[in-house]
Amino acid sequence: MLRGFAVVVATLVLPGLANAAFAQDKVLHVAAAADLTPVMPTLAAAYEHATGVKVVASFGSSATLEQQLENGDPQDVFLSADFVHPEALVAAGKTVETNPVAYAHGVLVLWARKDSPAQPLSIDSLTKPGVEKIAVANDLHAPYGVAATRAIAGLDLTEQLKGKLVVAENIAQTAQFVESGNAQVGFISLTIASSPKFAAEGTFVRLPAIYPEIQQCGVVMKGSKNEGVGVNFLQWLTSKEVQATLGKMGLDPINGLR
């Protein structure tokens, strides 16, 4: 847990949140994109402190979670790593919202262990002789995989790196490939790269703006017994106070706040 963030956000009780509608035994189930794995415990703890509502998260690629929700998985809120997958649920009439709610901008980085031949880490590390395997998320399932594919193309390295790519199901598994040494470098999210474990074991560099903006969006599932709580959770997540702290978690705020 990121202590600085927790100290700031745990003190937030937004108007309309701390009231009788938020019973102490209320549980909000959130299907969350894999890049949120390191940050949801902090968000959940802060939200519970502010409202008394316990947040239980399950993680996966945005495409996999969308499919599960389409098939009736009983979640209350979907936090995707993009706009496309929540929009598909909106179009299917399965959400409270008529448009996905942007809650953060994701950041793509290169990460490598400190003992990797990719060190000292830079964009040029992708073509170093000792770098034989490069981990990326599957661009058919994971928004960060799409961003990585576009970044590689933007660097004019698609053909040069084609035989080196090791494809993972989601961004969390991508990070595991690099952390375990099965790849010498990987395209992962800043949320994971800046987590305590990955910050201690490796280094990262942000990619230049050569990939499409990763606009992370959420929706509340229609028919959820916690619709009202879900709506308030998204309001809390997009509030100025919470947005101002997201940089500590590896996410860029939706309106440029720091």
Q: Tens digits of per-residue pLDDT, 162-201?
A: 999 999 999 999 999 999 999 999 999 999 999 999 999 9
Q: Is the pLDDT of residue 151 over 70?
A: yes
106-206: same fold as 3-105+213-249?
Answer: yes
C-beta of residue 84 within 8 angstroms of C-beta of residue 164 = no
Q: Domain spans of the chain? A: 3-105+213-249, 106-206
C-beta of residue 189 within 8 angstroms of C-beta of residue 145 = no
Closest CA to 54 of 203, 231, 229: 229
Give the other-Cβ count within 10 Å of 155's Cβ. Answer: 17
- pLDDT at residue 53, as a whole number: 96
At 25, is the pLDDT very low, low, confident or very high (cuts 50, 70, 90)? low
Domain at 3-105+213-249, CATH homologous superfamily: Periplasmic binding protein-like II (3.40.190.10)
Sequence letter at residue 147:
A
Closest CA to 174 of 84, 86, 110, 131: 110
C-beta of residue 28 within 8 angstroms of C-beta of residue 76 = yes
Rounded Cα distance between 3 and 33, Å, is: 22
**For range 147-153, the mean pLDDT:** 97
Rounded Cα distance between 143 and 33, Å, is: 9
Rounded Cα distance between 107 and 71, Å, is: 30
Q: Is the pLDDT of residue 5 over 50?
A: no
The full DSSP string for 237-257 is: HTSHHHHTTGGGGT-B-TTS-
**For range 66-93, the mean pLDDT:** 97
The mean pLDDT of the chain is 91
The tens digit of pLDDT for each residue in 193-228 reads 999 999 999 999 999 999 999 999 999 999 999 999
- pLDDT at residue 15, as a whole number: 42
**For range 5-21, the mean pLDDT:** 46
Give me the percent of the chain exceeding a pLDDT of 70: 89
- pLDDT at residue 146, as a whole number: 96
Give residue 55's region: left, alpha or beta (phi > 0; psi -120 to 50). beta
Rounded Cα distance between 13 and 18, Å, is: 6
Q: Is the pLDDT of residue 159 over 90?
A: yes
**For range 102-107, the mean pLDDT:** 98
- Integer CA distances (angstroms), 158 to 25, 166, 188, in order: 51, 14, 18
Q: Is the pLDDT of residue 9 over 60?
A: no
Q: What number does CATH give the domain 106-206?
A: 3.40.190.10
Sequence letter at residue 83:
F
The tens digit of pLDDT for each residue in 228-258 reads 999 999 999 999 999 999 999 999 999 864 4
